[in-house]
Amino acid sequence: MDDDIFLPGGRLRPDILTEAAARAVRESLVQARATNWDSVRTPHLFMGLLAAPDSGVYKWAHRLGADIPCLLDQFKELFLQADGETPPPLLLNREFLSDNVIRTLRDAYQRAKECGRSRVTPLDLLITLFTTPNSIVAECFERVGVTAAKLTEIAVRAEHEVAVQ
């Protein structure tokens, strides 16, 4: 099926991501392993965006007034499973991605197509992480007083700024 984000064997289709988004998604695997998880969860996807930021993610963080390395460290600390065993190598395969990550990737792909693009950008991923109902990433920000709506608004502004350049 051309609209699916996975190849028949379960691997994530490489043609649906920009190079910057692919770097961030690959980095999410590193973050999952670093925090002792055996699958990639949405916080790892967010950490991947922070660990391999493109200009759009930089603009979002700047507009938010956030320090990317500090924010990444905070998320690593929040999601570290200290008693977890080091997981085996993870792959960009359906079986290593949580249902929420799969939904986020599919929604980001749909968002990209609605915006007239054939490939997902890091900001598609970021905006989708904030607009997904019951997003744990958005919830972490809401605990410190930044709403999902505000995060999304800042990301959309950053996206428009990047598109103008």
Bin 28: left if φ > 0, else alpha if -120 < ψ < 50, else beta. Answer: alpha
Position 32 pLDDT exceeds 70: yes
Q: In terms of pLDDT, which residue wins out, 165 or 139?
A: 139
Backbone angles phi, psi at 52, to 5 degrees: -130, 60
Whole-model pTM? Answer: 0.94
Q: What are the pLDDT digits (tens) for 62-94?
A: 999 999 999 999 999 999 998 867 777 778 889
14-164, superfamily in CATH? Answer: Clp, N-terminal domain (1.10.1780.10)
Q: What are the pLDDT digits (tens) for 119-145?
A: 999 999 999 999 999 999 999 999 999
Q: What is the pLDDT of residue 165?
A: 61
